[in-house]
A and B are shown apart, each in its own frame.
Chain A
Amino acid sequence: MIRNFDKKQPLVSIGEVETYINFIIKGLARKYFYRDKTEIITQIAREGEIISSSASFLSGTPSPYRVEALEPVTVFSISRRQLEKLYDNSVRIERLGRKIITHLVLQKEEWEHECIRMETRERFLHFVYNNPDLLQRVPQKYLASYLNMKPETFSRLKRRPQVSGPKARPASQRLALSDKKERK
């Protein structure tokens, strides 16, 4: 089923059970939660990518995330019930499902490893190199949140991305997965 959302409209809200997997045909969406009152963005997705509160979709538990249109967005959505039917009717679809979920698991694993291995500047460069389009389309503060860095840090890095040689940091200062209070 095709669904359209206006900018800032939620595809799923915090506390709801996610009923859809969404494939973006047009537009941009982000996924986030609140830590105290701060938004923490965990995904930004564009055309050709899947976004949904996947763990909620798979487990049937309430979503701790909100998924929201960043630009007006058109998605192709499949509901849980439809998907179960497809799985029952075709082993090939079930295989596809397994492969997509495996891909999601591996993406998470890769992201975790990157966050541990790379220091802030490296992560910034890596991201910009791989996603030049998002730099144009997404407000900086959102990208900063996604990369788990302060907006100031993000704009500083953006101003002079080609300064050479990051100094190796002690791993105790590793950023992305770390607790904010542990960072100093």
Chain B
Amino acid sequence: MTKKKTPYQAALDDLFHYLSGFVPLTKTEFNVFLPYIEIREFEKKVKVIREGEVERYINIIARGLVRKYLPLKDNEVIVQLATEGHIIHSELSFHYRTPSGSVVETIEPTVFLSISYDSLEQLYQRYPKVERLGRLIMSDLFIKKDFRYFDQLSKSTRERFLDYIRTHPHMLQRVPQKYIASFLNIKPETFSRLKHLTRSKNT
């Protein structure tokens, strides 16, 4: 029992630090949020949200690795690869309350700290501080999205590859290469070639 609780406590501590990064927060205030947070566990390769379902949750990854992709006719395109501390969910579906066009699927066994749409609305109504928290978290997401979009448009394939490997050194070990290639919008062949290039440089 206690062994099972430990990772959650660590995850909740991480969440506290994450939120404190946006607004000053006391432990007491944080504890008020706790009843609204659900802990959800998934095996690897589980679709947390499928195409056509309405997303009910915002998830922060406590442990694990998750991808979000758009299923197309004859393949899929990955739009997000997320690890510990990252937010992942089908946001268009969550906010517009419409069927999801994207799929959120675990790559590794994953634990989410999740908050449902209804709980979040209640928090916004009850605690003014949550408004600020929500605004600042959304701002942060916007900034990250804008940088990614800018990178996609402004950088060459090679630059995008090298930047990603530099800023996410552990991902190559954790994520199948084809997923990273899809996320970076680089053909798998090109990806292997680029990877080879960095190796031969090091030796």
Contacts and interface: CB of A to CB of B under 8 A. Distances in A.
Question: Do A and B belong to a common assembly?
Answer: yes
Interface of A: 33, 35, 40, 42, 54-55, 58-59, 64, 87, 91, 94-95, 97-98, 101-102, 104-106, 108-110, 112-113, 116-117, 148, 168, 170-172, 174, 177-179, 181-182
B166 to A, nearest CB: 18
B176 interface: no
Given A64-B154, A105-B91, A108-B145, 8 more contacts: A42-B153, A55-B147, A64-B150, A91-B131, A94-B131, A101-B135, A113-B101, A117-B101
Contacts of B124: 95
B15 interface: no
Contacts of A42: 149-150, 153
Given A104-B142, A171-B77, A87 B132 contact: yes
- By size class, the interface of chain B is 35 or more
Interface in B135-182: 135, 138-139, 141-143, 145-147, 149-150, 152-157, 160
A107 to B, nearest CB: 10
Contact of A94 (B91, B135, B149): B135
Nearest to A93: B131
A178 B146 CA distance: 15
Interface of B: 70, 72-75, 77, 79, 91-92, 95-96, 101-102, 124, 128, 131-132, 134-135, 138-139, 141-143, 145-147, 149-150, 152-157, 160, 185-187, 190
Given A101-B135, A101-B142, A40 B153 contact: yes
Nearest to B138: A101
B142 A58 contact: yes
A54 B131 contact: no
A20 to B, nearest CB: 16
B74 to A, nearest CB: 7
B91 A109 contact: yes
A97 B147 CA distance: 21
B157 A179 contact: yes
A106 B102 contact: no
B146 A55 contact: yes
The 5 closest A-B pairs by CB, nearest first: A55-B146, A98-B135, A101-B138, A91-B128, A58-B139
A106 B91 contact: yes
B142 A105 contact: yes
Contacts of B74: 170-171
B146 A95 contact: no
A14 B147 CA distance: 15
B134 A113 contact: no
B154 A33 contact: yes
